[in-house]
A and B are shown apart, each in its own frame.
Chain A
Amino acid sequence: MGRRTPLTPYQDLLNRAIEAAHPYSASLELTYTCNLACRYCYNPVQRKNQPRRAPPPPPPGPPLSFEEYVDLLDQMKEMGVLYLTFTGGEALLHPRFWDLAAEARKRAFALRIFTNGVAVTEGTARRLRELAPFCIEMSLHGADARTAEALTQVPGSFDRQMEALRHLRSQGLRVYLKVVVTRLVEDQLQRIRDLGERFGYPVYFDPVLTVSDDGDPYPLELMASDEAIASLYREEGLQIGNSPFEREGGEYNCTVGTGTFHVTPYGDVQPCTQWKQAVGNVRKARLKEIWETSPLLQEVRKVNRAVPVEIQRTVEDHAYCFSCPGLSRLTTGDPLRVDDQYLRVARIRRRVAEEENGRGPVNRVAIRRETVTRP
């Protein structure tokens, strides 16, 4: 996909950071505990109310302690991490969530908090406001309780999410809503966007489902129809992607292992949330040492650089194709091979573009505002 607009100084800087393997972002998966039981949940530990082919994997040890997290925050600050995501499970359910968040803000991280919102009360929203996070990213599961709760399997969760949105709105917090497009919601996309608009929040629609971390493909049973995916690209005003912070330009496919890393509740360091392979553990080595010397990470960086070339070489609809090497690794065993879901999305995008007389790849909406100050 060619560069559509000139890069801003900020985007250019992030690309230089990736070239230099500067980890400007990181995510901490604080807990696997969750208060929902989503049918597409990719976490084999927390999978609830669903048939299992294998028992959940036992925990590899005790989860990281508060003190270990504080030490990690110091290490990440030293390494130059700016954007820090607290995720889960449900991050807010970590018993020391507020203490950890305060420690992160003390160290001047730009904090992103992923939540399903179910635990967000008026008091929670007020505390979040005091914390001054960069943003809250909240999952939505449908435009009404019946649809959403068919997915979350928790009665009342939709109403609690709506309450949460009211509280977050009243505190003036910046919220991005995220929806995985499944067959359960495929006829509600405009309604979900309208729901977001009622609260003044943008909605991001992700057409790709994630298989379970243990490779079990059961979430794919919820895959949306071709027509629903096409409608994402056909209809005006729907924003597409799994994050509002898409990087633009550069030689690398994404930030995996080059601009970002992920830490599990047990201290395993992964190249990103989706690349489920430990490249080290923070209980056995300092983060910087893992980042700079892990042979696996070196391999990941090579893969990350090779993916765009591989897409160009092997995918007929390459102008419309993205790839997630972490997902490919899980589903095909080869991070360089484009996963079937991304091939499907590329095929559909091409068809839509052709129908619309050369409209071309749909631009993702950039939300960043930026200024450059020169003394």
Chain B
Amino acid sequence: MVEQTVHRRNPDVSWRVIEGQAVLVFNIEGEVQVLNEVGTYIWEHLEEEDVDTLAGNIARTFAVSEEEARRDLLAFLQELRKSGALL
């Protein structure tokens, strides 16, 4: 259900933004994931902004259409949930 208002990061995933890129450490699995600039923006804001706000901000910040931003955002959230990064 990625359309829910806001999302929650999994507390078992440690993370920091390093040199502009979010590094996610999956403590249980022992894996590391590096997000690109857009992914980092989403990761940093997904607990405070709902999907509509996030999509609008991505469209403005990264100069893409809102439709494209929303489509990619939903796919990315789905991917994060599947990987266990989100509750």
Judge whether A134 is part of the interface by a CB distance below 8 angstroms: yes
A132 contacts the other chain (CB 8 A) = yes
Contact with A along B33-60 (1 / 0, CB 8 A): 1111011001000000000000000000
Category for how many chain A residues contact B: 20 to 34
Looking at the complex, which one of B23, B36, B80 makes contact with A82 (CB distance below 8 Å)? Answer: B23
The secondary-structure label for the interface of chain B is mixed
Task: Count A-B contacts at CB 8 Å.
Answer: 90
In whole angstroms, what is the CA distance A207 to B23 when docked? Answer: 32
Selected from B12, B21, B42, the residue in CB contact (under 8 A) with A13 is: B21
Complex interface: chain A residues within 8 A of B19 (CB): 13, 16-17, 20, 22
Instruction: Mark contacts of A362-374 with chain B using CB atoms, 8 A cut-off: 1 yes-contact digit, 0 otherwise.
Output: 0000011111111
In the complex the two chains form, what is the Cα distance from A370 to B72 in whole Å?
22
Instruction: Give the residue name and chain of the A residue nearest to B21 (CB).
Output: A13
B residues within 8 A CB of A77? Answer: 16
> Which A residues are within 8 Å of any B CB, using their own CB?
9-10, 13-14, 16-17, 20, 22, 24, 77, 80-83, 105, 108-111, 132-135, 174, 367-375
Residue pairs across A and B with Cβ atoms less than 8 A apart, 15 shown, are A10-B23, A82-B14, A108-B11, A108-B13, A108-B14, A108-B15, A110-B25, A134-B27, A370-B32, A370-B33, A371-B31, A371-B33, A373-B33, A373-B76, A373-B83
**CA A14 – CA B32 in complex, angstroms?**
12
Please pick, from A111, A369, A371, A374, the residue contacting B30 in the complex, using a CB distance under 8 A.
A369
Measuring CB to CB, which residues of chain B are less than 8 angstroms from any residue of chain A? Answer: 11-19, 21, 23, 25, 27-28, 30-36, 38-39, 42, 72-73, 75-76, 79-80, 83
Closest Cβ of chain A: how far from B38's Cβ, in Å?
5
Cβ of B16 to closest chain A Cβ, rounded Å: 4
Q: Provide the residues of chain B in CB contact with A110, threshold 8 Å.
A: 14, 25, 27
User: Chain B's nearest CB lies how many Å from the CB of A302?
Assistant: 21
User: Are A375 and B36 touching (Cβ within 8 A)?
Assistant: yes
Closest 7 CB pairs of A and B: A375-B76, A110-B14, A82-B16, A110-B25, A370-B32, A132-B12, A132-B27
Which of A22, A372, A375 neighbours the largest number of chain B CB atoms within 10 Å of its CB? Answer: A375
Contacts of A134 in B (CB 8 A): 14, 25, 27, 30
Give the docked Cα–Cα distance between A372 and B36 (Å). 8
**Chain A residue at minimum C-beta to C-beta distance from B32:** A370
Complex contacts, B27 vs chain A, CB 8 Å: 110-111, 132-134
